[in-house]
């Protein structure tokens, strides 16, 4: 069994360790935290893959196009974001318009690796966790036999979910930490 196949077999077990938003963190993804039951305000985490259609108003629906369509984070509709992510994306646009280049990778949603739709469809898994007005969508996939895990943070704003940050667990970077100046 190849490393990537072994990883996919273990993936559902790793997702169980995440727990609700209050317990979801990098350590939980790696299995260091124990699973916890959702709080009274939280909703039990729900897992999916690219073939599973998310509820239209769910946090997962906000991040899905980055994987189904290979959408570019820097070109995505700013209405889908709120600070601090929106501020970084807007500073990136100002930098590009000034002719000084781009401070963000074109495929941050894919952990800065090449987009291979067939491989992504085969290996993609996601887990959504909601706690009140905050949510997290953790995605995992394999590219070139290397596992990748990213965490999208969202906040309910005006009745809809907005992306506040994107963190790469495997790449050890966060969108909110980029200085596009």
Instruction: For residue range 6-40, list pLDDT tens digits in order.
Output: 333 333 334 333 333 333 333 333 333 333 344 44
How much is the pTM?
0.74
Question: In this structure, is residue 65 part of a structural domain?
Answer: yes
Question: In this structure, is residue 116 part of a structural domain?
Answer: yes
Instruction: For residue range 72-81, list pLDDT tens digits in order.
Output: 777 778 889 9
CA-CA distance, 153 to 79, in Å (whole number)? 15
Question: In this structure, is residue 170 part of a structural domain?
Answer: yes
Question: In this structure, is residue 36 part of a structural domain?
Answer: no
Question: In this structure, is residue 38 part of a structural domain?
Answer: no
| pLDDT score at 166 | 96
Question: In this structure, is residue 20 part of a structural domain?
Answer: yes
| pLDDT score at 1 | 41
The domain tally of the chain equals 1
Question: In this structure, is residue 106 part of a structural domain?
Answer: yes
Instruction: For residue range 85-120, list pLDDT tens digits in order.
Output: 999 999 888 888 888 877 887 778 888 888 788 889
Question: In this structure, is residue 112 part of a structural domain?
Answer: yes
**Domain extent for 104:** 3-31+44-177
| pLDDT score at 155 | 98
DSSP state at residue 163: E
Sign of CA dihedral 90, 74, 63, 131: negative
Cβ contacts of residue 57 below 8 Å, gap of 6+? 160, 161
CA-CA distance, 19 to 138, in Å (whole number)? 11
Instruction: For residue range 50-64, list pLDDT tens digits in order.
Output: 888 899 899 999 998
Reported in sequence order, the residue ranges of the chain that DSSP labels E, i.e. its strands, are: 42-48, 125-131, 134-143, 146-157, 160-168, 173-174
CA-CA distance, 129 to 137, in Å (whole number)? 6
């Amino acid at each position: 069994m190849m490393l990537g196949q072994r990883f996919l077999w273990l993936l559902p077990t790793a997702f169980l360790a995440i727990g609700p938003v209050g317990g979801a963190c990098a350590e939980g993804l790696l299995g260091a935290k124990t699973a916890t039951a959702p709080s009274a305000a939280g909703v039990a985490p729900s897992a999916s893959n690219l073939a599973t259609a998310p509820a239209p108003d769910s946090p997962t629906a906000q991040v899905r196009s980055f994987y189904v369509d290979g959408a570019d984070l820097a070109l995505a509709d700013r209405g889908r974001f709120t600070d601090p992510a929106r501020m970084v994306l807007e500073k990136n646009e100002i930098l590009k318009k000034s002719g000084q280049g781009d401070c963000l990778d074109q495929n941050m949603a894919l952990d800065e690796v090449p987009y291979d739709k067939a491989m992504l469809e085969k290996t993609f898994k996601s887990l959504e966790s909601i706690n009140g007005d905050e949510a997290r969508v953790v995605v995992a996939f394999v590219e070139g036999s290397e596992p990748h895990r990213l965490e999208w943070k969202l906040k309910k704003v005006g009745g809809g979910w907005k992306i506040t940050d994107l963190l790469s667990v495997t790449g050890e970077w966060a969108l909110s930490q980029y200085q596009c100046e």
